[in-house]
Amino acid sequence: MLKEAPALSLLQRLKNGLPVLDWIKTYNVQLFHSDIFAGIITAILLIPQGIAYAFLAGLPAEVGIYSSLLPALLYVVLGTSRVLSVGPVSIAAIMVASALASPEVVAIGTPVQNAMILALEGGLILCLMSMLRMGGLVHYISQPVLTGFTTGAAIIIVFSQLPKMLGLDLTGCASLQACFIDPSIQINTATMGVGLLAVALLFLMGSPLNFLLNKLRVKKTIATAITKSAPLLSISLGIILVTQFSLDIEHQVAIVGEIPQGLPTPSIEFLNVSLAHMLALLPSAFFISLIAYVESVAIAKFIASVRNEKLDTNQELVGLGAANLASSFTGGMPVAGGFSRTMVNYAAGAQSQMAMLIAVIVLAAALLSVSQTLEAIPKAVLASIIIIAVAPLIKVKAIISTWKSDKADGISQLVTLLGVLILGIEEGIVLGVVATIFSYMRRTSKPHIAVVGKIHDTDHFRNIKRHKVQTWEDLLLIRIDENITFANINYISEFIEHEYQLYSPKQIVLIFSSVSYIDTTAVSYFRQLISNLKQQGTTLNLAEVKGPVLEILEKINFVSDLSPGKIFFQTSDAVKSFVK
């Protein structure tokens, strides 16, 4: 028995480090049937999205495909989400594009090399965060900030792709508006035709077709397969138009161009750079990896809650970190969990990460066999796919709703959005986080405090301004609804002093039911308050003090300082003691 314990412990550690072992032990043929269908559908979406997001980042088409192979395989082994699809995503792509376009980065290395370094540094950052048990970091970027950021980034993406979709030559005009003013010179009508045709196809095969299939009672998985094949269908149509009518030669329709045939070869040659080169990319790598992690965990947690599964946020750092490291060594770019691909994977019936393994196999087969065919994809079609994919991220209604429900969160959201649009993506994130912290500090510095009274014939105490309650001439009950620290003690003291001057009671009871922490600055104030009240014939008491707070007060001998005041278990006990 003594020898078995270490083996069990080792097995448990192995299962924790390799989540694949958790689901593979119960895997069966029935699950495989669901996964193989979902994997094929996801692969159909991976091909156009991988190429499109590579172009969005300013990189060759093959970079997007390479980023969807080995990185996805490593997440299959190390990730805890059963259906998260890891690969190139729109938000990370636009952040990569922003990083590669900065003057200090343009001057060093090539775009592909710099993208690989960004993936490497991002992977190392995520792995380091895992070692430091920082999986909970996802909670420090508020939802309003994240919504403001994604909306701003999506708007930038849409406007960056519109010229490519409409055939506008931005090199011939100073701005997008200027291009529209003189369309006869700048617009390539053939490119615009292909782009608009792709948009129409993508739109009609979205909600309208889905609505029709639901009316016809088509099975959900089949309906998903049909509607989500729209990107591949639009690419196929674009390839046919280019090859049949020589649009690239006769009408200068921009196409993808050469895609190397075969699988990527792992290499470390991209690391042949100076330390200064690596440091120049490090800030961008940090922000890209942080947003990639937050976005991935948000998607994974949503799916896990729907499927009643557990998600280990710290292990997700390992899975995503390893995926980014793999992407760097195989000629890829930073990767994350993609919302649209994950939802397609889930809707198509994926039961485990076996679906993503199948998707990778299909994608590898396509790279080995049809890469030359993919070279004729019109860039206008890719731009259309990106625009349709990111349009749902522009959440104007959510921003309006947040503003109506909470002005502070609304300000943080708006600051983030404007920061992204005006200053840049990384600057917008920082500005949004700073705005959130400032809003939080402002909110906690002015906590909710209420004078309370007793609801007749009950032991419940409520705000005298909101309820009809019983009060007493010589007893003042004050409830503090926040932890008490140096940041808010001045506000709290002013409130107490104001109410004391208003009522002049003999007994004051501070209700600590919502206080979980009190710092030394606050304790010093209360000691002074006790002394001042004693001189005026008033006693300070406490009620409903939580265990952690009581421990602090007992350690610093505050309880004896409070005498003759008392600490009551419940507010009703204080009332019974003072009201005859």
- Asked if residue 283 has pLDDT above 90, the reply is yes
Integer Cα distance of 92 and 182 in angstroms: 34
CA atoms within 13 A on the CB side of 44: 21
pLDDT digits (tens, 9 = 90+) for 537-551: 999 999 999 999 999
Question: How many Å apart are CA 288 and CA 125, to the nearest integer?
Answer: 10
Burial zone of 241 (CB within 10 Å; 0-12 exposed, 13-18 middle, 19+ buried): buried
Are 481 and 452 in contact by the 8 Å Cβ rule? The answer is: no
What is the distance between the alpha carbons of residues 292 and 91, in angstroms, rounded to a whole number?
Answer: 8
The candidate with the shortest Cα–Cα distance to 294, out of 126, 67, 431, is 126
CA distance 236 to 268: 35
| Residue 305 in this model has a pLDDT that exceeds 50 | yes
Mean pLDDT of 127-154: 85
Contact 453, 464 (CB under 8 A): yes
If we measure between CA atoms, which residue out of 80, 51, 160, 132 comes closest to residue 390?
160
Cβ–Cβ under 8 Å, residues 135 and 312: yes
- What 3-state DSSP class applies to 139? helix
Question: Is residue 479 predicted with pLDDT exceeding 70?
Answer: yes
Alpha carbon distance 337, 529 (integer Å): 55
- CA–CA dist 461, 478 (Å, integer): 10
Average pLDDT of 388-392? Answer: 90
Structural contact between residues 562 and 530, judged by C-beta atoms closer than 8 angstroms: yes
Residues 221-279 have pLDDT tens digits of 888 888 888 998 999 999 999 999 999 899 889 999 888 888 999 999 999 999 999 99
Residue 503, both tokens: 């009522």
Give the HSE-up count for residue 576: Cα atoms under 13 Å, Cβ half-sphere.
9
Distance, CA of 300 to CA of 310 (rounded, Å): 10
Query: Residue 453 phi/psi, 5° resolution?
Result: -140, 175
Indicate the pairing of strand 539-543 with strand 507-511.
parallel
- The model's pLDDT over 396-450, given as tens digits with 9 standing for 90+, comes to 888 888 888 888 888 889 999 999 988 888 888 889 888 888 888 888 888 999 9
In Å, the largest CA–CA distance within the chain is: 99
For tokens 């900030």, what's the residue?
A: 145
Residue 66: in which H helix or E strand, if any? Answer: helix 61-66
pLDDT tens digits for 66-87? 999 999 999 999 999 999 999 9
Burial class (CB in 10 A: 0-12, 13-18, 19+), 501: exposed
User: Which tens digit of pLDDT belongs to each residue from 506-534?
Assistant: 999 999 999 999 999 999 999 999 999 99
Phi, psi of 83 (to 5 degrees): -130, 0
pLDDT interval class at 178 (50, 70, 90): low
Q: How far apart are CA 287 and CA 92, in angstroms?
A: 9
pTM for the full predicted model: 0.81
pLDDT recorded at residue 2: 43
Q: CA end-to-end span of the chain, whole Å?
A: 67
List domains and CATH numbers for the chain: 57-171+187-438 (no CATH), 449-578 (3.30.750.24)
Order of strands across the sheet with 507-511?
461-463, 449-454, 475-480, 507-511, 539-543, 567-568
Could you give the CA distance from residue 476 to residue 488 in angstroms, rounded to a whole number?
21
Residues pairing with 509 in the sheet: 477, 541
Confidence of residue 344 (pLDDT cuts 50, 70, 90): confident
Q: What is the mean pLDDT of residues 18-33?
A: 87
Q: What is the pLDDT of residue 5?
A: 44
Per-residue pLDDT reduced to its tens digit, 317-336 = 999 999 999 999 999 999 99
- Paired with 255 in beta bridges are 378
Q: CA dihedral in degrees (284, 286, 292, 295; nearest 10)?
A: -110
123 neighbors 321 (Cβ within 8 angstroms): yes
Q: Do residues 531 and 562 touch, judged by C-beta distance below 8 A? A: no
Q: Band of the pLDDT at 164, cuts 50, 70, 90?
A: confident
For the chain, the C-alpha Rg in angstroms (whole number) is: 30
The closest alpha carbon to 73, from 327, 307, 304, belongs to: 327
